[in-house]
């Protein structure tokens, strides 16, 4: 039998001659230009939907080819650019982490992950307390994002870099907001937190991983990156890595990290009572905080005050005092570095409520995690990134709502007092709450 060939004695039959002859692997029907267009279309749609230029858009990359293209662009840029230690964001004065028990893991984030998966990163920050997550942005990543958002087109690169510039700007703004708001979850690596200060590019990011691996040896260190070479280097140093997979979700990442932490270090009971630092000397067994005495004296010093005014003033005095104790327990001697936080500037319940909301993720959420029914000290409308926290019961109570006012703030105070104050102070709070309920019936 002769194989069909134009070189055989019989030549090709009419049927064989009409066949399409191919060799090698099937070629992708969607070239780089097509993938780039889909990315550009997503970014353009996001830009057009922005309310103003400062909005942070979340444009997820859920396609492997899109992720590879972004990763390749960042890698090329990294190869041709160099960034020094000039960082606009104030990371040197940011308070360090105060570890509060549990299986805590540090996630080191690479530039390409920030750009391609800002949605996932944002969700991880929201789920941080559920899975014991702390997020670290390396110095070099902050530098690189700043460079990318202002970059020119790479030499010999035919693709547009406008999409990457927008991605970098949104990621840069997200990080800035986290740091500016003194997030207890997201931190920028300090210049002092390096083993070898001369390293740059991939090696600088790996050095960040190694620093936290050395100084936080009882905690899991995980690199989030789509750069295969960097991930290989990290794995060689026994640092776990997370890279893009189809269907990747923040909750699944958090669950896997928590499982690995428990596997390596065993189950560690989460502590809902932060350990007070040197700045909280007033919280000692058998000691009554001065504001409790102050509240006890309000009745005698204000004999003509109405029941509603007394309830409001006593709740406000105790609430802000315990909020400040919680803040000091978290930030300790760095409390003075917190932007726009001055104890004397909080003078009413609305400002107390705004303080609770502003530092909810970084300070106060941990106290309320054990509460049944997911009780929170505010009203929450909307879902996900678009959700808003709204202060409630911040005005002097009225006849219609005095009972609910007392019940709401009593629950908030009991949670915080249980977490940060001593046993004697908790007993005194119970006496105050009983008196507020009696006063509420007189409003």
Low-confidence stretches of the chain (pLDDT beneath 50): 1-7, 20-24, 26-32, 34, 156, 158-159, 271-286
Q: 288 and 240: one domain?
A: no
Task: Say how far apart CA 121 and CA 111 lie, in whole Å.
Answer: 12
Phi, psi (degrees; rounded to nearest 5) at 5: -160, 150
The label of the residue with tokens 């204000």 reads 302
pTM passes above 0.75: no
On whether the CB atoms of residues 114 and 227 are closer than 8 A, the answer is: no
Q: 58 and 88: one domain?
A: yes
Element (H or E) spanning 287, and its range? none
pLDDT at 30: 43
Q: How many domains does the chain have?
A: 2
Interstrand relation of 220-224 and 105-109 (parallel, antiparallel or unpaired):
parallel
Convert the pLDDT of each residue in 128-187 to its tens digit: 888 889 999 998 999 888 888 776 655 545 445 677 888 888 888 888 888 776 667 888
Which of 237, 265, 293 finishes a domain? 265
Q: How far is CA 381 from CA 39, 284, 356, 366, in A?
A: 31, 39, 16, 21
Which of 214, 240, 265 finishes a domain? 265
The CATH number of whichever domain residue 250 belongs to comes to: 3.40.50.1010
Do the domain assignments include residue 153? yes
Do the domain assignments include residue 20? no
Task: Say how far apart CA 409 and CA 405 lie, in whole Å.
Answer: 6
Q: 259 and 298: one domain?
A: no
pLDDT at 268: 74
Q: 133 and 245: one domain?
A: yes
pLDDT at 168: 87
Do the domain assignments include residue 4? no
User: Can you read off the two tokens belonging to residue 314?
Assistant: 């006593």
Do the domain assignments include residue 390? yes
Do the domain assignments include residue 79? yes
Q: Report the SS3 class of residue 390.
A: strand
On whether the CB atoms of residues 289 and 432 are closer than 8 A, the answer is: no
Task: Say how far apart CA 244 and CA 260 lie, in whole Å.
Answer: 18
Q: 43 and 74: one domain?
A: yes
Q: 175 and 299: one domain?
A: no
Q: Report the SS3 class of residue 107.
A: strand
Which of 232, 265, 298 finishes a domain? 265
On whether the CB atoms of residues 280 and 98 are closer than 8 A, the answer is: no
Q: Report the SS3 class of residue 149.
A: coil
Half-sphere exposure of 430 (CA within 13 A, CB side): 7
Assign residue 160 a region (left: φ > 0; alpha: ψ between -120 and 50; beta: otherwise). beta
Q: Check the CA dihedral 183-206-121-49 and report its sign.
A: positive
Q: 340 and 237: one domain?
A: no
Nearest of 233, 222, 208 to residue 144 by alpha carbon:
208
Q: 129 and 243: one domain?
A: yes
Q: 188 and 237: one domain?
A: yes
Convert the pLDDT of each residue in 209-231 to its tens digit: 999 999 888 899 999 999 999 99
Half-sphere exposure of 308 (CA within 13 A, CB side): 14
Range of the domain at 414: 278-440
Do the domain assignments include residue 27? no
Task: Say how far apart CA 373 and CA 379 lie, in whole Å.
Answer: 14
Q: 205 and 115: one domain?
A: yes
Q: 211 and 98: one domain?
A: yes
Do the domain assignments include residue 271? no
Task: Say how far apart CA 204 and CA 223 lie, in whole Å.
Answer: 13
Q: Cβ neighbours of residue 358 under 8 Å, at least 6 residues apart?
A: 181
Q: 244 and 305: one domain?
A: no
Do the domain assignments include residue 273? no
Element (H or E) spanning 231, and its range? helix 228-236
């Amino acid at each position: 039998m002769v194989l069909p060939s134009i070189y055989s004695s019989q030549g090709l039959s009419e049927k064989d001659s009409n066949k399409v002859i191919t060799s090698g692997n099937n070629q992708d029907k969607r070239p780089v230009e097509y993938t780039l267009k889909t990315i550009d279309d997503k970014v353009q749609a996001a830009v057009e939907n922005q309310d103003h230029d400062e909005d942070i858009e979340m444009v997820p990359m859920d396609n492997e080819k899109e992720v590879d293209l972004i990763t390749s662009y960042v890698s090329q840029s990294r190869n041709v650019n160099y960034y020094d230690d000039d960082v606009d964001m104030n990371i040197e004065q940011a308070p360090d982490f105060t570890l509060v028990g549990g299986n805590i893991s540090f996630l080191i984030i690479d530039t390409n992950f920030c750009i391609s998966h800002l949605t996932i990163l944002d969700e991880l920050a929201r789920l941080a307390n559920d899975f014991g997550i702390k997020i670290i942005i390396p110095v070099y990543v902050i530098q690189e994002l700043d460079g990318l958002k202002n970059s020119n087109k790479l030499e010999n690169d035919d693709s547009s870099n406008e999409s990457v510039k927008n991605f970098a700007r949104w990621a840069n703004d997200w990080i800035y907001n986290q740091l500016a708001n003194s997030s207890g979850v997201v931190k920028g690596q300090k210049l002092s937190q390096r083993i070898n200060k001369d390293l740059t590019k991939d090696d600088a990011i790996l050095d960040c991983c190694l620093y936290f691996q050395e100084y936080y040896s009882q905690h899991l260190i995980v690199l989030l990156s789509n750069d295969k070479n960097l991930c290989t280097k990290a794995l060689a140093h026994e640092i776990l890595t997370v890279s893009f997979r189809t269907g990747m979700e923040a909750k699944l990442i958090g669950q896997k990290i928590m499982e690995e932490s428990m596997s390596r270090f065993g189950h560690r009971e989460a502590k809902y009572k932060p350990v007070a630092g040197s700045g909280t000397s007033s919280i000692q067994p058998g000691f009554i905080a001065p504001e409790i005495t102050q509240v006890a004296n309000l009745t005698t010093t204000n004999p003509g005050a109405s029941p509603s005014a007394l309830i409001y003033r006593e709740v406000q005095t105790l609430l802000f005092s315990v909020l400040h104790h919680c803040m000091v327990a978290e930030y300790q001697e760095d409390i003075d570095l917190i932007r726009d936080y001055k104890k004397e500037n909080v003078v009413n319940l609305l400002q107390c409520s705004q303080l609770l909301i502003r530092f909810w993720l970084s300070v106060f959420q941990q106290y309320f995690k054990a509460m049944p029914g997911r009780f929170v000290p505010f009203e929450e409308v909307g879902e996900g990134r678009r959700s808003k926290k709204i202060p409630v019961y911040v005005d002097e109570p009225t006849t219609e709502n005095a009972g609910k006012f007392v019940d709401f703030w009593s629950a908030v105070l009991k949670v915080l007092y249980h977490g940060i104050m001593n046993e004697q102070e908790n007993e005194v709070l119970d006496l105050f709450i009983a008196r507020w309920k009696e006063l509420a019936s007189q409003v």
